[in-house]
Amino acid sequence: MTVTPQIRAADPGAKVVFGGLLLARPENGPNNNDGKPFNFLEGALRTGAGPYFDILAFHSYPTYFEVVGVNNAHVDFDKHSRTFGGVWASRGGATLGKMAFLREVMQRYGINKPLFLNETGLLCDDRYVPGSGSCNAAAPTLQQAQANHLIRSSMRAIAAGVESYIWYTLQGPGWRHAGLLDGSQQPRPAYTALKTAIERLNEVRIPPQPFTGYGAGFEAYRFSGNGFVLDVVWSVDDTLRQIMLPAGSFIAAYTRDGAPIAPTVSGGTATLNVGFENIYLKRKP
């Protein structure tokens, strides 16, 4: 309330960002009477802070863990019931749940600020003993899980209207092994997934719309381009599913990592297999 007027006086175009909210303590769930972490924003707004910031920042840091008997690269950690003790799973996952919660709090005070996911990643807390059900940083599935999580969380966030999305961090190995680069500063799968997403989305308009046209078992987001649409789509679990569309509407398809995909064409129908890893499907509207 003291600093913001001075910032705006010096630079009327400056944007003041509320310090990123961690919202990560499961024992302090997202309601009005349960503890300090989730009540911090409410307290600030109650004291009249609403007019003194322009963007509300928050963090989202699910933790990778190993489960016996499943492909751990194909677990949706953004929505898993073990994420932060299940606090956010019941609200649609860490990414969407936090966005909805923050908007609910702001709405109670009559404000609507843009949301900024200024720190996110899929962490590996290897302080625990490998094999204990927690994270093993040497597990080959960890890096694939991070790449899959990056696409899921970013698509959900931008479709829900987040203004900015930042994976923390670029340099490796990063905080709790979440760097986009490894310890030798070479690209990890999450780096390649992010690079591919940027390349594909450079030719479309943002934000996308959630798309349900492929039916149950898929999660998809549709972007509009000039004379085409681009669907980012994946199977919601480890089941390999098929998308069928008129062969004449198919333009191109790519894997999560950017490799071209050729559909199977028969009788005027193009068929593509879609697994847990997303594909990019460019087609005529």
Q: What is the pLDDT of residues 108-127, one digit of tens each?
A: 999 999 999 999 999 998 76
Residues in the chain where the model's pLDDT stays below 50:
26-28
Tell me what percent of the residues of the chain surpass a pLDDT of 90. Answer: 79
Q: What is the pLDDT of residue 35?
A: 52
Which residue type sits at 89? A
Handedness of CA 114, 118, 123, 128 (dihedral sign): negative
The phi, psi pair for 188, rounded to 5°, reads -95, 170
Residue 254 · residue 264 · CB < 8 Å:
no
Name the DSSP class of 170.
Answer: S
Rounded Cα–Cα distance for residues 233 and 214 (Å): 9
Q: What is the pLDDT of residues 224-279, one digit of tens each?
A: 999 999 999 999 999 999 999 999 999 999 999 999 999 999 999 999 999 999 99
Q: Please report the pLDDT score of residue 85 as a whole number.
A: 62
d(CA 213, CA 177): 37
Q: Is 263 helix (H, G, I), strand (E, B) or coil?
A: coil
8 A C-beta contact, residue 152 and residue 232: no
Residues in the chain: 285
